[in-house]
A and B are shown apart, each in its own frame.
Chain A
Amino acid sequence: MELQIDDSVLVKDYINGEEKALEILIHRHNQRITSFIYSKVMDRDVAEDIFQDTFIKVIKTLKKGTYSEEGKFLPWVMRIAHNLIIDHFRKNKRMPMFQGTDDFNIFSVIGDEKLNAEKQLIKDQIDTDLNMLIEELPEDQKEVLLMRIYQDMSFKEISENTGVSINTALGRMRYALINLRKIIDKHNIILTN
């Protein structure tokens, strides 16, 4: 059976300058402390950071000679780790970091509404083409279409502004669209986005 030196003996040795004792202590409690931190933060890299900070505190306290052997070594280290975990969450609360998991990806909910450069170019091209096509329409139809689509007016407002009935405005809009389609077909224009 392998003889295991007690934690308190190792701590004393370390305080007396035996550096190897620290290595034994770290290796002995590595899994327990790391697993404890990991179970709280659920991030491997953060767990590593907190583990490192925990032992830096341990080293400083032991070297300064302010460690008092009141309790056991492991619960003391765990308490330091616990406090650092709380600090980590407090810091994150001010500046939260969100990481997607396999189940849920934040980018499926929020996204950039803007078109990418290529799509924006295509859209601009279509808009220009469409303006040129609209110019080909008869004046009365063009007027209704511009008011409805570009000025976002209702047919009631259009009829009031142009002095024709709502039905006439509706009819002109209908013919404007039919004629646009005809021009597009006639010239084999492809408008896609």
Chain B
Amino acid sequence: MEKIYSQKKLGCKLVKVRPETVQFLVQYSQSLRIVEYKNLQFENNLN
């Protein structure tokens, strides 16, 4: 029997990240503070 070597067709799949990931990013953004001091930037993460 002939063998089919061609790959499975990779259809364009529409996906979204989980709501938890979005939630994490929003919370990360809220907790992040950039403090500037004499031309230096410090990242503060206030949990």
A residues with a Cβ closer than 8 A to B are 19, 22-23, 26-27, 30-31, 34-35, 38-39, 42, 44, 47-48, 51-52, 55-56, 59-60, 63-65, 101, 103
Could you name 13 residue pairs across A and B whose Cβ atoms are closer than 8 Å? A19-B30, A23-B26, A26-B22, A35-B15, A38-B13, A39-B13, A44-B15, A48-B21, A51-B17, A52-B21, A59-B29, A60-B32, A65-B34
B29–A47 contact, CB under 8 A?
no
Interface of B is mostly: mixed
User: B46 — which chain A residues lie within 8 A by C-beta?
Assistant: none
Given A19-B29, A22-B26, A59-B25, verify A34-B17 contact (CB < 8 Å): yes
Given A19-B30, A64-B34, A64-B41, verify A52-B25 contact (CB < 8 Å): yes
B25–A30 contact, CB under 8 A?
no
B17–A48 contact, CB under 8 A?
yes
The one of A34, A55, A56, A103 that contacts B16, using a Cβ cutoff of 8 Å:
A34
B residues with a Cβ closer than 8 A to A are 8, 10, 12-18, 21-22, 24-26, 28-30, 32-34, 41, 43
A56–B28 contact, CB under 8 A?
yes
In whole angstroms, how far apart are the Cα atoms of A27 and B12 in the complex? 20
In whole angstroms, how far apart are the Cα atoms of A64 and B10 in the complex? 39
The one of A19, A22, A31, A101 that contacts B14, using a Cβ cutoff of 8 Å:
A31
B21–A51 contact, CB under 8 A?
yes
**Known pairs A31-B14, A31-B15 / 6 extra A-B pairs, C-beta < 8 Å:** A19-B30, A35-B13, A39-B10, A52-B17, A56-B28, A65-B34
In whole angstroms, how far apart are the Cα atoms of A125 and B34 in the complex? 72
In whole angstroms, how far apart are the Cα atoms of A60 and B33 in the complex? 9
